[in-house]
Chains A and B, each alone.
Chain A
Amino acid sequence: QQQVKQSPQSLIVQKGGIPIINCAYENTAFDYFPWYQQFPGKGPALLIAIRPDVSEKKEGRFTISFNKSAKQFSLHIMDSQPGDSATYFCAAGSGGSNYKLTFGKGTLLTVNP
């Protein structure tokens, strides 16, 4: 049972493009939606997170859009750079128990120069 569905599996964009990664969830108890960034050989690192009381959150070039009624959220990367090439994971947590997140399967992003 996949509780967080992530798409696409991989994505290639040119420098300056705006890659968009989408996630959908099923469990309405989820109330915390982080995105993690992972570089090869490293552990995931928190990029940005949102809670369902807001529809959008922006941190630098990274924006999360959240649609509670559709149970979907997405990550947008503005003015993407080759250094943004990484694997991105969406995740969901509930009840303040963010140490036991449910992750999507990941998206491998490549930003070409």
Chain B
Amino acid sequence: NAGVTQTPKFQVLKTGQSMTLQCAQDMNHEYMSWYRQDPGMGLRLIHYSVGAGITDQGEVPNGYNVSRSTTEDFPLRLLSAAPSQTSVYFCASSYTSSGELFFGEGSRLTVL
């Protein structure tokens, strides 16, 4: 069982470039979320989804876009990368709204 899989694990971008961080889970979880982790800041919620076709904004949504066309996949798009988006990004999923949150291993993004 793969759990939550994130790709790529590492990425370097130039300011203004766009890219998509991929997240896939094979646990048939309805709920998926994206967090960013910055030193001394903990994890902050970017966007989340409560099921296919349903997404909403979290605490720090600016500069990011998401979609949820299938239960398994929840990609995070950076529209025009900025140095402030240098971070480690984590995708997470849970089976129920009140259940345990399972995290992927993260994607480390550097924007120059």
Contact = CB atoms under 8 A, between A and B. Distances in A.
Interface of A: 4, 6, 9, 32, 34, 41-46, 49, 89, 91, 96-106
Most buried by A among B42, B59, B97, B102: B42
A100 B104 contact: no
Interface string B31-44: 11101000011111
Given A43-B90, A43-B106, A44-B90, A103 B44 contact: yes
B8 interface: no
B93 to A, nearest CB: 8
For chain B, the bracket of interface size reads 20 to 34
Contact of B97 (A46, A98, A103): A98
A6 B40 CA distance: 11
Contacts of A41: 105-106
Interface of B: 4, 31-33, 35, 40-45, 48, 50, 58-59, 90, 92-94, 97-106
A45 B92 contact: no
B30 to A, nearest CB: 9
A104 B31 contact: no
29 contacts: A4-B42, A6-B42, A34-B100, A41-B105, A42-B105, A43-B92, A43-B103, A44-B90, A44-B103, A46-B102, A49-B100, A89-B43, A91-B43, A96-B97, A97-B97, A98-B97, A98-B98, A98-B99, A98-B101, A99-B33, A99-B50, A99-B92, A99-B93, A99-B101, A100-B48, A100-B58, A101-B43, A101-B45, A103-B42
Contact of B100 (A4, A46, A97): A46
A103 B92 CA distance: 14
B103 A105 contact: no
Contacts of A103: 35, 42-44
Contacts of B94: 98-99
Nearest to B108: A41
Given A32-B98, A42-B105, A100 B40 contact: no
